[in-house]
């Protein structure tokens, strides 16, 4: 990276102030951040954050601490703070370039990716069913989204739900008539949980791979090498699905005691956001592979052979005995 040494010259005051004011964007001031191809991106299997630039035909990179030292980026300077935010931001986006918007996860904790209206509806319905479970004293095990809708559409359950909101207001130290306050709290919780529902939908596609593997096992029965590879993929996929499902169950358990969740709403939202970010981070690895599984016909061929190898590499990297799902 010595070729970039001439980029460490002092900056004019106006450039420094512009960087310091970058509250919503990665408005770096240093000259090195103006170089073609400048970006922060993960490197290698451990996804180590690095800084990249394009030097001729070479895509050069350096470690973050080396970037600070090489270009005399002082501690707590505007660029130093933005570098720290960029490193954190790589958990939410694939790469970060100068001028990019700072992910909202860093600024205010909100998710920076969109969801569909149905995910918001499912989140609200799950919370409503949990409220009915609490007021009736009977656990209602409804996991299918269609079952949730049908159950809540029943006339008697609509009436019970109003009573449940009133009882919840009382349990939260309010007047029974002040159930509007409970509605607002449920709404706040649903706004966070709808991202979990969106992720639950996306993770279901990982489970779909298992069904396709069963078909491929029969198709590759005469190929010992690929038959064994499919078996290894199945084993690692089972391990992956168990860990993913456990994480969703943990989130569900956090809100199953609905009154307790509403009493500690801020703490619940913080927990849900952490789980959301962890699961979303995992899916960044899976998304390209899931897309290929959607597009590749379930039949023998070079494309399928390559997809099996790619799937195995992903699973082995994340689910070998010494690996952590969140690394």
Could you list the pLDDT tens digit for every one of the 327 residues in the chain?
444 544 444 444 433 333 334 479 999 999 999 999 999 999 987 789 999 999 888 899 999 999 999 999 999 999 999 999 999 999 999 999 999 999 999 999 999 999 999 999 999 988 998 898 898 887 766 666 777 777 887 767 788 888 999 999 999 999 998 888 999 999 999 999 999 999 999 999 998 999 999 999 999 999 898 899 999 999 999 999 999 999 999 998 888 889 999 999 999 999 999 999 999 998 888 999 999 999 999 999 999 999 999 999 999 988 876 544 444
Tell me the C-alpha to C-alpha distance, in Å, between residue 16 and each of 12, 74, 77, 201: 7, 12, 9, 45
Q: Is residue 286 part of a domain?
A: yes
> Are both 152 and 208 inside the same structural domain?
yes
Q: Kindly provide the b/e burial profile for residues 222-253, where b requires at least 16 CB atoms within 10 angstroms of the residue's own CB.
A: eeeebeebbeebbebbebbeeebeebbeebee
> Are both 283 and 151 inside the same structural domain?
yes
> Are both 196 and 229 inside the same structural domain?
yes
Name the average pLDDT for the chain.
Answer: 87
> Are both 63 and 172 inside the same structural domain?
no
> Are both 247 and 187 inside the same structural domain?
yes
> Are both 202 and 168 inside the same structural domain?
yes
Tokens of 45: 């299997």
Tokens of 59: 């895509």
Q: How many domains does the chain have?
A: 2
Kindly write down the DSSP assignment for every residue of 277-303, as one continuous string: HHHHHHHHHHHHHHHHHHHS-SSSSHH
Q: Is residue 120 part of a domain?
A: no
Q: Is residue 164 part of a domain?
A: yes
Q: Is residue 327 part of a domain?
A: no
> Are both 186 and 299 inside the same structural domain?
yes
At residue 3, the pLDDT reads 44
Structural domain of 99: 2-107
> Are both 94 and 141 inside the same structural domain?
no
Tokens of 246: 């456990």
Q: Is residue 51 part of a domain?
A: yes
Domain boundary among 61, 76, 107: 107
> Are both 103 and 137 inside the same structural domain?
no
Domain boundary among 107, 142, 174: 107
Give 10-58 pLDDT, tens digit per residue.
Answer: 444 433 333 334 479 999 999 999 999 999 999 987 789 999 999 888 8
- Identify the bridge partners of residue 96 per DSSP, sorted by sequence position: 40
Q: Is residue 112 part of a domain?
A: no
Q: Is residue 283 part of a domain?
A: yes
> Are both 181 and 282 inside the same structural domain?
yes
Domain boundary among 59, 77, 107: 107
> Are both 142 and 170 inside the same structural domain?
yes
Q: Is residue 121 part of a domain?
A: no
d(CA 42, CA 51): 9
> Are both 222 and 136 inside the same structural domain?
yes
At residue 143, the pLDDT reads 63
């Amino acid at each position: 990276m010595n070729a970039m040494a001439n980029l460490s010259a002092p900056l004019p005051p106006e450039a420094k102030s512009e960087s310091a004011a970058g509250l919503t964007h990665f408005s770096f001031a240093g000259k090195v951040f103006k170089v073609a191809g400048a970006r922060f991106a993960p490197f290698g299997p451990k996804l180590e954050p690095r800084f990249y630039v394009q030097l001729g035909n070479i895509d050069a990179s350096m470690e973050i601490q080396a970037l600070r030292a090489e270009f005399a980026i002082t501690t707590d300077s505007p660029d130093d703070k933005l570098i720290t935010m960029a490193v954190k931001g790589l958990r939410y986006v694939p790469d970060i370039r100068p001028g990019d918007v700072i992910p909202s996860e860093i600024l205010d904790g909100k998710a920076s990716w969109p969801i569909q209206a149905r995910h918001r509806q499912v989140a609200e319905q799950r919370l409503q069913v949990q409220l009915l479970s609490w007021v009736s004293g009977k656990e209602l095990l409804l996991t299918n989204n269609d079952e949730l809708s049908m159950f809540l559409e029943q006339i008697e359950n609509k009436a019970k739900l109003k009573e449940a909101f009133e009882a919840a207001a009382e349990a939260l130290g309010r007047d029974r008539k002040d159930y509007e306050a409970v509605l607002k709290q449920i709404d706040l919780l649903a706004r966070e949980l709808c991202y979990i529902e969106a992720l639950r939908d996306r993770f279901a596609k990982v489970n779909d791979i298992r069904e396709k593997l069963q078909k491929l096992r029969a198709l590759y029965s005469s190929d010992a090498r690929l038959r064994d590879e499919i078996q290894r993929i199945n084993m690692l996929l089972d391990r992956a699905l168990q860990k993913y499902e456990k994480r969703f169950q943990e989130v569900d358990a956090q809100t199953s005691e609905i009154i307790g969740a509403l009493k500690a709403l801020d703490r619940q939202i913080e927990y849900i956001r952490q789980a959301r970010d962890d699961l979303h981070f995992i899916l960044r690895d899976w998304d390209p592979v899931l897309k290929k599984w959607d597009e590749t016909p379930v039949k023998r061929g070079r494309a399928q052979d390559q997809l099996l190898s790619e799937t195995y590499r992903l699973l082995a990297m994340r689910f070998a005995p010494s690996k952590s799902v969140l690394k």
